[in-house]
Amino acid sequence: MARSDKNGKVSKGAADVDKYLKDAAGLDTDREKVIGQHIGYRYDVNLLPDYDKLTPFLKDYMEFMGWDDLNWLEDVHMGYEAGQPAIFDRNINGWVRIPKSMKLPGNQQDRDMLARELLIRFQTSPNHPLHELNKAYRKF
């Protein structure tokens, strides 16, 4: 597995941060080759968030929520769907693709921080599918 130091630099011999952008299929394991699709939850779970890389939005969000850490956001990572950067949204059980025009940072730590911010922004926007469900089924 790739390891990053506190500056987000990938250690020597580590996987390329753009691997799944270059190889859309990303079929590395025997199981993936059998089923014909990439298994997205193969990220380094030991890679703790580097709090020096928090975006201004995430700093404000954590302060507003009264959190000392990223809480439920720690396991949110920049993933890839069909060769496009994406974030998995558990609420809709699907991938939310990042706009092609968005420039991605050059290391995984910064990409993960960006993914966390974008997920919060999407989940709180009127474009999120749960927004319509809330309006339709809210009792109070």
Given this model, what pLDDT does residue 1 score? Answer: 41
Given this model, what pLDDT does residue 71 score? Answer: 80
- The set of residues, in sequence order, having a beta carbon less than 8 Å from that of 21 and lying 6+ positions away, is 80, 83, 84, 85
Per-residue pLDDT of the chain (140 residues; tens, 9 = 90+): 444 455 545 444 456 777 767 766 666 777 677 766 655 555 555 556 788 889 999 999 999 999 888 888 888 888 888 888 999 998 888 899 998 899 999 988 899 999 999 999 999 999 888 888 888 888 87
Given this model, what pLDDT does residue 35 score? Answer: 64
Neighbours of 3 (CB within 10 A): 15
d(CA 115, CA 129): 18
Amino acid occupying residue 74: E
Quick check: 48 and 5 in contact, CB under 8 A?
no
CA 99 to chain centre: 14
Quick check: 98 and 118 in contact, CB under 8 A?
yes
